[in-house]
Chains A and B, each alone.
Chain A
Amino acid sequence: RKEVEQDPGPFNVPEGATVAFNCTYSNSASQSFFWYRQDCRKEPKLLMSVYSSGNEDGRFTAQLNRASQYISLLIRDSKLSDSATYLCVVNPFAGKSTFGDGTTLTVKP
């Protein structure tokens, strides 16, 4: 079993739709969590951190459920430009960041 697991998708949604991605992690001692966005053949870029109380950045909302060991990303009012792969990242107290394999989103007109 992988340390960080994501539904690979693809998720194909129309513009304006709301879409949610989940990510589960196996290390209960994980300290911090992030969502990254990666466009085709480009480097991953930080989308947002995930805080224990949940947090929002414009159309994006991230949630953390430590008891069930999963994090989620909600995108409201999807835009064509949101089409990308979304990577879930989990950090332990010390050591490397572990990435999921990503969820691919395609937003269609």
Chain B
Amino acid sequence: DTGVSQDPRHKITKRGQNVTFRCDPISEHNRLYWYRQTLGQGPEFLTYFQNEAQLEKSRLLSDRFSAERPKGSFSTLEIQRTEQGDSAMYLCASSFDGPFSPLHFGNGTRLTVT
């Protein structure tokens, strides 16, 4: 299966801890996106990369969140000093360049902050 893969699938952490998630996109895709989704809401944009360049970051994203895509392949999303409000599904997606290329999502990482 050459789809988008995310790791881990589930993460339970205590408030104040740091967590890091990994995403491996479809290899031919040069764009990689991170979204966050809570129950009853649609996916909320966090950030996206074109190759290794981070082109946009949501203004809603606090400084505790950081994402990298060092070689233009896989990406990591780190949340520092987690808070209970960070509990959500974190979705990674990839696509080709351009507005007409749809996003392909991974299975997501479900984060629970206790």
Contact = CB atoms under 8 A, between A and B. Distances in A.
Contact of B45 (A31, A98, A102): A98
B103 to A, nearest CB: 6
Interface stretch (A11-19, A60-68, A73-81, A89-97): A89-97
Interface residues of A, number: 26
B85 interface: no
A44 B106 CA distance: 9
B43 A99 contact: yes
Nearest to B43: A99
A32 interface: yes
Contacts of B87: none
Contacts of B99: 31-32, 91-94
Contacts of A31: 99-100
B25 interface: no
A46 B102 contact: yes
Given A43-B107, A43-B108, A96-B33, A87 B42 contact: yes
Given A43-B91, A43-B107, A34 B45 contact: no
Nearest to A102: B42
A108 interface: no
Contacts of A42: 107
A46 to B, nearest CB: 5
A8 B41 CA distance: 10
20 contacts: A31-B99, A32-B100, A34-B102, A43-B91, A43-B105, A43-B106, A46-B103, A49-B102, A89-B103, A91-B99, A91-B100, A93-B99, A96-B33, A97-B33, A97-B45, A98-B45, A99-B43, A99-B44, A100-B42, A102-B42
Interface of A: 4, 8, 31-32, 34, 41-46, 49, 87, 89, 91-102
Interface of B: 33, 35, 40-45, 48, 55-56, 89, 91, 99-100, 102-108, 110
